[in-house]
Amino acid sequence: MTFTMGKAEVHCVFDISAKLVRGAYMVAEENEAKSQGHPCPVHDGIQATHNSYNSTANWLLQKIRDNSNRGDKSALFLLLITKTPSNRL
């Protein structure tokens, strides 16, 4: 990432990690939100969860492809684990 501070241009390199899950915490998140009086933070149903996961995974793959096509030498890594035990939904 490059940004300007005053007259100086600063280039920063950093790692970002994230965990993309497909419904693994739906029940726990809903219960936690209810216990704290908050609205449910998860999608309405497993199909909406699948759709969100799939579109996010596709977006990440597209970013990796775009960086590769530009010759970006940054290390890009994506690990997708797509099987969630049915008893956890």
pLDDT 10s digits, 25-80:
888 989 999 999 999 988 888 888 889 888 988 888 888 788 777 766 655 666 66
Distance of alpha carbon 29 from alpha carbon 15, whole angstroms: 27
pLDDT tens by residue, 2-33: 666 677 777 776 667 777 877 778 889 899 99
Instruction: Kindly tell me the sign of the dihedral angle through the C-alpha atoms of 50, 52, 56, 62.
Output: positive
Residue 45 is part of which domain span? Answer: 2-88
Instruction: Kindly tell me the sign of the dihedral angle through the C-alpha atoms of 88, 56, 63, 3.
Output: negative
Q: What is the pLDDT of residue 46?
A: 82
Q: What is the pLDDT of residue 20?
A: 80
**What's the N-to-C CA distance of the chain in angstroms?**
38
Which residues neighbour 84 within 8 Å (Cβ) at sequence distance 6 or greater?
A: 21, 22, 23, 24
Per-residue tokens: 34: 């209810």
Domains of the chain: total = 1
